[in-house]
Amino acid sequence: MKKIDSVFVSTLYYGINKAVIDIMGTGGMVLGRRTSYYMIKLLKDMNILKEKMNNEEIRDLFVNTFGLSEDLVIEDNEDEVIFNVVNPTLDLFLGKIMEEGINPYVCPFIHLLSSIYEETGNSKLMLKQVIPEHNKAKLIFKKIK
């Protein structure tokens, strides 16, 4: 089976985000949320995504099914959920948006990951901070109660 190269996917996400910013500005955040809604709907229709997944199932989906990173460590505490994305395959995309200070409105890690996590029924999430580290990105979400 042929696979799509991560350079192509990185440049696609980069181009989409640049275009969203040019056309919509900060309104792009709504587009990112809506995009994840339709992605989740399609993934459910394809029986790839199931209801109320646990952390290990979410990790398996992003690491093994989607191939988006080498590992995904989920930390859930009282006020925050932290997704530690280890060796992301879209490192070109993530590095470029961080370098340019671009808000990633359409990003598989941010809206898709948080939306899938929200479906566990634990809580709603709001992006608080993205911390790029060497071969890792920390996505910190505030729990909305």
Can you give the three-state secondary structure of 34-92, one letter per residue? HHHHHHHHHHHHCCCCCCCCCHHHHHHHHHHHCCCEEEEEEEECCCEEEEEEEEECCHH
CATH topology of domain 6-144: Muramoyl-pentapeptide Carboxypeptidase; domain 2 (3.30.1380)
Mean residue pLDDT of the chain comes to 89
- Mean pLDDT by runs of 10 across the 145 residues of the chain is 86 93 87 89 93 92 93 94 93 86 83 88 84 86 90
CA distance 5 to 103: 23
Residue 30: other Cβ atoms inside 10 A: 11
- Which token pair is 92? 């070109």
- Residue 117 gets which letter from DSSP? H
pLDDT at 38 (0 to 100):
94
Q: Are 18 and 102 a contacting pair, CB within 8 Å?
A: yes
- Residue 26 gets which letter from DSSP? G
